[in-house]
Structure 1
């Protein structure tokens, strides 16, 4: 008969070999990400791509990424199907991916889907929607625009005329009026986040009405706004990432952390704590998720912006969803 000691030794050895084999065959988390626009758009898509790069740097070979970039809306279902068939976590960047994500998620119930910029209202057991709360930070951006405008006139150009983009435009105007009730505000939508010509046309029309500070929710269409502002000597409040000092055309930045949300989805999946459902980000998740920066702000400007953001957090200022 084998002694109790030899049995225990054999059990420990077997356990060690099993653990070693498990570790040796551990596979990286497979992440698929759909960036429907350009990853170098100076906006939503680039910020999301920066977040992906940060996650890859953090996790190294613990994650394996497949990215599909710059596709037509008509090809979104096919792109998400491709990603879902090969990955454990699939991230759709932008609210424009939401309808397709929910559609494809039904076919892949074991795959986790996260939507960067997801809206409330839909639900599925394998889909998480992350709301960046663009309307909230747009209100603060409007206040900054009113502080910076020399003409007392500002403008906003959005892409698709959908609730989240329209609500952000409305709150940009409301924030500006909180600083200057008599400010002139122009609001336009191009119908396309990437149409450079239409964005330029809309910006030039606003400039013709006196606007000297412009805000946007655009992707590649931002190039058109830049062209108009350069030609006419006006300025832009950028979005998504603080790049103060890199381009004199930009006088401020609203930080809408789409890259932060990409990292959040990957962090949660790596930890095994990923969960479905609607989740609000915005100011309450901290400055990486949402913030407002005037480049070279005076102490008075910074104090006023901080006070506005605190009132938003405390519920003293109410804004639309989006």
Structure 2
């Protein structure tokens, strides 16, 4: 079992892959230098190649209509672990797994699917930490969250985010927006500025390269962002209020390590906050020690099961 995660029930992959024959192909929705999700996954690919000695390949910017074709092409070329990086690959992964039963198919952030391995995070937990901090620090009581599409992971993050905001401020309000593009910086900035015009002074971007537009809007209007995937406190210490880290690259590395041992199964592998791949990032200098202590207490309560942020409605 991957260290520090919950293993959901699912069927076992039908065919074992010999370690010395392992070839891993990763299909990405964006660019590997986006300083967000795709780059994080790429860093995992590099670790897999360098530390595990596994042959790897990847393709960037694969649109949804081409997913099955690209994944199938890798399977036909002898790649026996095919990875779709993102929830939008779930349907394609199911089709490819059925068509190529000798390959293992894995989806990062994908809905649990028969015959497919999925890697997910307990998204409500991460959202709760961000919402608790935002709820305490927001001057307006209004915060925002935006993504490209309404995917289950974002719904879960928002559910936790809203629960955290309300725990800090029962009158708090969460605004939601979608840009319809994971990488478009201008669209993300426009959506963020619209939220700010409605009173939001903290924004949560769940985007790929488009997150930079949210940071730009925060800088322009002197408000804050919370980072859910990457630690924004390092490159943007003034704009960042608090960040969590969803290390998809690290989780992928652990999954491929299991595959190398012949132990990767068609399970839903999940990481909670405070695990090897799910961590708390940095705080803004203006966040009080009292708020930080409340966040740490919430993390401890979620780890021991006494705090369970509600599932998305």
TM-score range, shorter chain: 0.7 to 0.9
> Separation in 2 of the partners of 1:181 and 1:91?
41
Match of 1:280 in 2: 270
**Are 1:294 and 2:287 matched, yes or no?**
no
Retained in 1: the 8 A contact 2:40–2:247? Answer: yes
Q: Which runs of 5+ in 2 are unaligned?
A: 1-18
Match of 1:52 in 2: 45
Counterparts of 1:86-125 in structure 2, within 5 Å, are 86-120=78-112, 122-124=113-115
After TM superposition, the structure 1 stretch with the greater mean CA deviation from structure 2, 193-202 or 171-180, is: 193-202
> Higher RCO, 1 or 2 (CA under 8 Å, sep at least 6)?
2
Counterparts of 1:52-201 in structure 2, within 5 Å, are 52-59=45-52, 62-85=53-76, 86-120=78-112, 122-124=113-115, 127-201=116-190
Q: Secondary structure at the match of 2:26?
A: strand
Retained in 1: the 8 A contact 2:160–2:309? Answer: no
Retained in 1: the 8 A contact 2:163–2:309? Answer: no
TM-score by length of 1: 0.83
Match of 1:20 in 2: none
Retained in 2: the 8 A contact 1:128–1:277? Answer: yes
**Are 1:239 and 2:228 matched, yes or no?**
yes
> Separation in 1 of the partners of 2:79 and 2:137?
46
Aligned length: 291
After TM superposition, the structure 1 stretch with the greater mean CA deviation from structure 2, 101-110 or 254-263, is: 254-263
Q: Deviations over 1:271-307 (max 9, x none)?
A: 22111122222236x1532435424454323321121
Q: 2:254 aligns with which of 264, 268, 275?
A: 264
Q: Secondary structure at the match of 1:283?
A: coil
Change (3 A) 1:83 1:321: farther
> Separation in 1 of the partners of 2:270 and 2:230?
19
* Cα shift at 1:77: 1.0
Retained in 2: the 8 A contact 1:116–1:132? Answer: no
Retained in 1: the 8 A contact 2:123–2:160? Answer: no
Bigger radius of gyration among the two? 1
TM-score by length of 2: 0.85
Match of 1:208 in 2: 197
The alignment yields a C-alpha RMSD, in angstroms, of: 2.2
Q: Which runs of 5+ in 1 are unaligned?
A: 1-25
Q: Secondary structure at the match of 2:225?
A: strand
Match of 1:230 in 2: 219
> Separation in 2 of the partners of 1:167 and 1:273?
29
Match of 2:32 in 1: 39
Q: Secondary structure at the match of 2:99?
A: coil
More helix by share: 1
Change (3 A) 1:225 1:56: same
Change (3 A) 1:292 1:174: farther
